[in-house]
């Protein structure tokens, strides 16, 4: 493969991974999946040797951990504060729709507002509803930090792969 093409593939893969990494700021953006898909496409385009398969397995494991931790941390804190699972599901839908109709940060506003509204209607207590939203936001913050470092680890593992290709 010509050097210019190899360099172009690396730049495109890295740029896509960075979009995934910084997309993690938006809670419903699948940044971990974007990073994983970029590594998969990179491997399909450049080929897999033994080291590549090992590193891709590590990246895949990190992706599964990242997605799982995302769901656990984001919802567990809000649920611990008293949120019903239906409120969290409706908050997710609100966040999804907010991101689609008011990108890029509409989801960041819509999800907590939906959870606040649903929890207020459910509990008839604004203080409890606000505690639930606080739990949701703390969960988002913790989830972002963990997912960001997992994303960095995935990209770092891919860099080892790209350098040793």
Alpha helices (H) in 81-125, listed in sequence order? 85-101, 106-123
Q: What number of residues does the chain have? A: 165
Model confidence over 82-122: pLDDT tens digits?
888 888 889 888 888 887 888 777 877 888 899 999 999 99
For the stretch 123-140, pLDDT in tens is: 898 998 988 888 888 888
Domain residue ranges of the chain, discontinuous segments joined by + = 3-163
Give the count of beta carbons closer than 10 Å to the beta carbon of residue 7: 11
């Amino acid at each position: 493969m010509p050097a210019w093409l190899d360099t172009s593939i690396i730049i495109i893969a890295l740029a896509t991974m960075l979009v995934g990494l910084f997309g993690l700021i938006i809670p419903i953006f699948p940044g971990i999946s974007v990073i994983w898909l970029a590594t998969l496409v990179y491997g399909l385009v450049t080929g897999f040797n033994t080291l590549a398969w090992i590193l891709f397995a590590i990246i895949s494991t990190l992706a599964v951990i990242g997605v799982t931790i995302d769901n656990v941390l984001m919802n567990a804190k809000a649920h611990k504060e008293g949120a019903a699972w239906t409120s969290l599901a409706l908050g997710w839908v609100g966040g999804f729709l907010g991101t689609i109709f008011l990108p890029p940060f509409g989801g960041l506003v819509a999800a907590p507002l939906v959870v606040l509204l649903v929890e207020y209607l459910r509990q008839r207590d604004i203080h409890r509803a606000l505690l639930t939203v606080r739990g949701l936001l703390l969960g988002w913050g913790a989830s972002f930090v963990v997912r960001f470092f997992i994303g960095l680890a995935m990209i770092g593992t891919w860099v080892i792969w790209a350098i040793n290709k």
